Amino acid sequence: MEKFEKKWDGIEHQSPAPKLEIFTKGDPNKPDITYFPAPKAERWSKLLGYTFTESVDDLEGSFSFTVENEEVKKEEKSVFDLIPVRSIVKIYEGDLENAVFIGIIRQRQIKKSMTSQGIKRSVVFSGKSIISCVAEYTLSLDIRIHNIAEPMSRNKDLTDRLTRKKEKGDLLTIKDFMKETWEHFKKVSEEAGISTTGVADIIKKFIGGGNPNTFIKVTGIRQTLHYDIACVFYNAANNVIVDVWRNILPENVYEFFSRCEDGEPKIIARQVPFEPEDWSSLDIYMISPISLTAYELDLSDEEVYTAFVSYIIGSAREREFYLGVYQTSKDDIVAHDRKKQKIYGFKPMELNFVGYDRQGNSPKEDGNRAALIEELRELNKMALYWYSRLDEMYSGSITVITDFNKPETNPRAGCRAGFLGGEFYINKAEHSWNFGGTPTIKLTVSRGMIYDNSGKMKDGKDGTIRNVGSRFRELEKENG
């Protein structure tokens, strides 16, 4: 865990000069166009603005940038003509060696208008994170397509491949699962002769050489799957890799997001940081008055859960079983917040899993079933800890100035923000800059409360951030 903190007094000066590299011909070592605002530059200096976002539970991200539609006499074309859809874009902020965002253009829009200064010509390019090329990787197993084998045989191939990982008794890791499914998707697609060669080429050139060991990063304390996988991975239609991952690693328990680390695009996967050790290990960015420009916070009871239950779809103890014991059973396998149930009533959060081993779920196999129930009991306890106090936590947005002098201190999605004496979870970070203006990062935050040094939420009133309306008045000062 790193702590990034700015000075709380004095004045900071910077001259933001973002750089955009655009690759139109596919050579990852040679950008075809580079935008870098410079007063004396004759070409490729007229960058008017850009935005990009990274968000937890979003592998696609988004970005856009606007430039003046310059005429390039040598090529007898304009910028609009020179930058086609599916070009790769790298955005740099301060650190001109390591990109903070890498995207692929999906749309371009040309604009022209008459103003008091004459004709204004501009082009807006927009798209998604380059990791979207992985997230959207699709394999079609329509039996009408030539060379496509019966889909169920492909399911068996992948299941066998994942099972072999456990021949030595080792638990299958999240990374092994994601890596094996990715490699199998590619192999089946290539064998069928219907691989998306354009996408595969982009992945190979710009995403870690196409090696999942390079672009998939799993973090957190718990990195293993606790049950054998035995589900239907493929259907006789279009199969999207991220859907396969989500079937085994469901929301509310696991997180996926994309971001650049040391200039390279990564998929970050992890179990939600239920554990205090996971929470305290996240990088924390301390929000100072110098960088703060605006914030909006709210405290709401719109999302409240008072009971937490996990189950495996298709098992003997599936949803119907727990519906009968949610409110009546004294067994602690179902985690309850009895105090809040008296206020809000019975509001369950269901955590259901697809694809884990069906063995051990039968009442005749008491030993295996007991181990399974114990795993689910522990998960319910963690969900109770993580989700039961949402009505006590602040959420909203915090906008700060992007630091081009020390870009490593700029907050990122999936990390923490220290603010108002408490800590917040950064769900989303949206960067924006317009020529002549101040570059900013708008953070969407949640889970705002007080945690101790070990990362554990403080109990009761000690965990609630107090005096929010009067504790942070720096924006109201004349020189704030």
- Which residue is it, tokens 């592998």? 59
Same domain, 66 and 85: yes
Residues 163 and 200 in one domain: yes
Q: Dihedral through CA 406, CA 412, CA 417, CA 419, nearest 10? A: 60
Question: Residue 6: pLDDT above 70?
Answer: no
> Left, alpha or beta for 134 (phi > 0: left; psi -120 to 50: alpha)?
alpha
Q: What is the pLDDT of residue 57?
A: 87
Instruction: Give the Cα separation of 383 and 348 in Å (integer).
Output: 11
Distance of CA 362 to the CA centre of its chain: 37
In this structure, is residue 256 part of a structural domain?
A: yes
Token pair 């999207």: residue: 240
In terms of domains, do 116 and 157 share one?
no
Q: Is residue 30 part of a domain?
A: yes
Partners of 103 in beta bridges: 89, 129
The answer on 221 and 172 residing in a single domain is yes
Nearest residue to 407 (alpha-carbon basis) of 429, 434, 378, 387: 429
User: 173 in a domain, yes or no?
Assistant: yes
Tell me the three-class secondary structure of 214-272, residue by residue.
HHEEEECCCCECCCCECCCCCCCCEEEHHHHHHHHCCCCCEEEEEEEECCEEEEEEEEC
One-letter amino acid at 299 equals L
Task: List the structure tokens of 259.
Answer: 């971001």
Strands 3-5 and 348-353: unpaired
Q: Is 30 found in the same domain as 177?
A: no
Q: How many domains does the chain have?
A: 4
pLDDT at 92: 96
Note the pLDDT tens digit of each residue in 310-333: 887 766 667 777 666 655 555 667
- The tens digit of pLDDT for each residue in 361-402 reads 444 445 456 777 788 888 999 999 999 999 999 999 999 999
What pLDDT is stored for residue 479 in this prediction? 41
- ∠ CA 259-261-262 to the nearest 5 degrees? 145
pLDDT (average), residues 146-173: 67
Residue span of the structural domain in which 317 resides: 307-387
What is the share, in percent, of the chain residues with pLDDT greater than 90? 52
Q: 294 with 401, same domain? A: yes
For residue 237, give the nearest of 132, 151, 155 by alpha carbon: 151
Domain boundary among 93, 108, 129: 129
pLDDT at 145 over 80: no
Give exposure, 196-231, as e/b (b: 16+ Cβ within 10 Å): beebbebbeebbbebebeebbebbbebeebbbbbeb
Residue whose token pair is 């604009």: 111
Residue 89 has which token pair? 């874009």
Could you tell me if 31 and 121 lie in one domain? yes
349, part of any domain: yes
Residues 205, 267 within the same domain: yes
Question: What CATH number is associated with residue 466?
Answer: 2.40.30
Asked if pLDDT for residue 164 goes beyond 80, the answer is no
Q: Which residues pair with 40 in a beta bridge?
A: none
Give one DSSP letter per residue of 187-208, joined into a string: HHHHHHT---HHHHHHHHHHSG
Give pLDDT, residue 364: 46
**pLDDT for the residue numbered 190:** 75
Average pLDDT over the chain reads 84
Query: Per-residue pLDDT tens for 168-221?
Result: 556 788 999 999 889 988 888 777 655 556 788 899 999 999 899 999 999 999
Tell me, yes or no, whether 146 and 251 share the same domain: yes
Q: Which of 143-147, 184-188, 271-275 has the highest mean pLDDT?
A: 271-275
- Any domain includes 8: no
Question: What is the average per-residue pLDDT within 457-466?
Answer: 92
pLDDT at residue 319, as a whole number? 72
pLDDT tens digits, 10-19: 556 677 889 9
pLDDT digits (tens, 9 = 90+) for 410-433: 999 999 999 999 999 999 999 999
Whether 366 and 243 map to the same domain: the answer is no
The domain boundary residue, chosen from 129, 155, 190: 129
User: So what's the pLDDT on residue 238?
Assistant: 80
Q: Note whether 215 and 183 are same-domain residues.
A: yes
Q: Kind of pairing, strands 264-271 and 307-312?
A: unpaired
Among 304, 391, 385, smallest CA distance to 349 is for: 304
Q: Which residues contact 244 (CB under 8 A, 6 or more apart)?
A: 181, 185, 233
What pLDDT, on the 0 to 100 scale, is given for residue 212?
94
**17-62 confidence digits (pLDDT tens):** 899 999 999 899 999 999 986 655 555 678 999 999 999 989 999 9
User: So what's the pLDDT on residue 247?
Assistant: 85
Complete DSSP assignment for 264-315: EEEEEEEE---SHHHHHHS-EEE--TTTEEEEEEEE--SS---EEEEEETTS
Give the domain CATH number at 34.
Answer: 2.40.10
CA 196-197-199 angle, 5° bins: 70
Using a pLDDT cut of 70, give the percent of the chain over it. Answer: 81
Q: What share of the chain is helix, strand, coil (3-state, %, to 5)?
A: 25, 35, 40
User: CA 242 to CA 133: how far, in whole Å?
Assistant: 11
Structural element, H or E, at residue 323:
helix 319-325
Q: How far apart are CA 468 and CA 248, in angstroms?
A: 40
Among 145-149, 166-170, 456-460, 468-472, the range with the most confident prediction by mean pLDDT is: 456-460
Q: Tell me the residue length of the chain.
A: 480
Identify the residue with better confidence: 136 or 233. 136
- At residue 480 the predicted structure's pLDDT band, cuts being 50, 70 and 90, is very low
Instruction: Look at 372 and 443; give whichever has higher pLDDT.
Output: 443
Nearest alpha-carbon partner for 431 in 81, 67, 161, 62: 62
Whether residues 30 and 144 share a domain: the answer is no
pLDDT recorded at residue 474: 56
- 7: in domain: no
**Residue 354 included in any domain:** yes
Q: Decide if 6 is inside a domain.
A: no
Report the alpha-carbon distance of residue 395 to residue 447 in Å, rounded. Answer: 6
Of 74, 102, 129, the one marking the end of a domain is: 129
